[in-house]
Amino acid sequence: MNLGIGAVGHVRILVLCALLLAGIDAHAQTDPLPSWNDGPAKQAIVEFVRATTDKASPKFVPPEARIATFDQDGTTWVEQPMYTQVVYCLERVQVVAEKKPELKNVEPFKTVLSGNREAMAKLSMKDLEKILAATLTGMTVEEFNAEVKKWLATAKHPRWNRPYTELVYQPMLEVMRLFRANGYKTYFVTGGGQDFVRVYSEQVYGIPPEQVVGSAGATQFGYDKAGRPILTKVPKLLLMDDKAGKPEGIHLVIGRRPVAAFGNSVGDKEMLVYTQAGAGARLMMLVHHDDATREFAYGPKSKIGTFSDALMAEAKKKGWTVISIKNDWKKIFAFE
C-alpha cells in the first residue's frame, strides 16, 4: 500500500529514477506513428505533442488540461456501408420480435424483419427512433452490455468478413497511444450510443468507459423482483451527441475544453470549432475518406460521414489539418 505521503528521506531514489527514465526517452528513436506516411498530417501530430509537452515551449499545456477528443464512426473505425450500432439494432429486431411476437406485424419492425434492403433503406428517422428504442432500452445496463458483447463476438463486416472491432484504423490507434504516452486523456466524443461504445472501448481502443461521451439515454434506478438494485435503460434521450451536441456533451461529461480534436464529418464541425476557440496550442484534424481501393471514398453527398465541400472550405479557412487516407496512411488495419 502506498501511503500517499511525501517520503522526504527517499527523494534521492526518486531523482535517480527520474534520471534513469528520462534516459529511456532520450534514447528511444523509434517512430511513434509507423503506419503513417511522412507528410503534413503526421508532422502536425508529432509536432503538436512535442510542443505541448515541452516545458520550454510557448505552446506547453499543463498535464491536467491535456484532453484530446476523438469522434468514432469514420474517424477511428469503418462507418460504411452502415454505422455498426445501426447494424446491431437492425439485427436485434429479430431477437426482440421473438420475445414480443406482436411486433412482427407492426411497422417499422415488419420491414426490418422482411430483410428487404431496398425497403429498409427508405425507413424514416422516426422509424429508426422506434427501432433504437425497442432494441436499446427496456433492459438493465448489465443485460444490454452482455447482449452487445455477444453480438460483437460473432457479427462480421460484409466487405472484410471480419469482426467490426478489427476494422479500427491502426494509424488512429497509434495517435491515441502517442497522446496517452504524453499525459493526455483520450476521450471518445461520438454520435453513437455512449453505452454501446463503452462495451468495447477499453479493450479495442484503450479508452475506459468513463472517457466515452456519446448519445446518451436515461436510466432508471429501481429494484428487481428479488430486491436487487438495478439500472434500467429507458427511452428518454438526455444527449444527442452530434453537431452542436458534441461541445454540449463535452461540457456535460468532461467539463473542460479539449486542446486536440479529431473528426471526419459535418457532425464534428462544432467540436472542432469549440476546441479551436480556446487559448493556447490547438490541434484540429479531419479524416478524409478518399481511398476507394483500400477502404471507401465518399463524396460530399454521402448519407453518413458527410464531408461536404463547405466543410473542406472551412478546414482550409480555419487551418484544420485534413488527413488523406490515401496519402497519409501507409497501413489502414492491423491485419493488413
Write out the residues near a copy of itself by the rule CB under 8 A.
Answer: 1-5, 7, 10, 13-14, 16-17, 20-21, 23-25, 27-28, 30, 32, 49-50, 53-54, 64, 67, 141, 177-178, 180-182, 185, 194-195, 198, 202, 208-210, 212, 216, 218-222, 228-229, 231, 238-239, 244-245, 247-248, 251-256, 270, 273-274, 277
Residue 3 or 121 with smaller CB distance to a copy of itself: 3
Residue 70 or 296 with smaller CB distance to a copy of itself: 70
**Minimum distance of a copy of itself from residue 228's CB (angstroms):** 6
User: Running DSSP on this structure, what letter comes out for residue 163?
Assistant: B
SS3 8: helix
Q: Which residues pair with 290 in a beta bridge?
A: 297
**Minimum distance of a copy of itself from residue 253's CB (angstroms):** 6
**Minimum distance of a copy of itself from residue 108's CB (angstroms):** 28
Q: Which residues contact 302 (CB under 8 A, 6 or more apart)?
A: 80
Measured between alpha carbons, how far is 271 from 246 in angstroms, rounded to an integer? 6
Measured between alpha carbons, how far is 276 from 263 in angstroms, rounded to an integer? 13
**Minimum distance of a copy of itself from residue 275's CB (angstroms):** 9
Radius of gyration of the chain (CA): 22
Residue 277 or 292 with smaller CB distance to a copy of itself: 277
Range list of β-strands (E), 49-115? 67-70
Q: Which three cell numbers stand for residue 41?
A: 498530417
Measured between alpha carbons, how far is 222 from 226 in angstroms, rounded to an integer? 11
Residue 97 or 272 with smaller CB distance to a copy of itself: 272
SS3 334: coil
Residue 71 or 295 with smaller CB distance to a copy of itself: 71
**Minimum distance of a copy of itself from residue 278's CB (angstroms):** 10
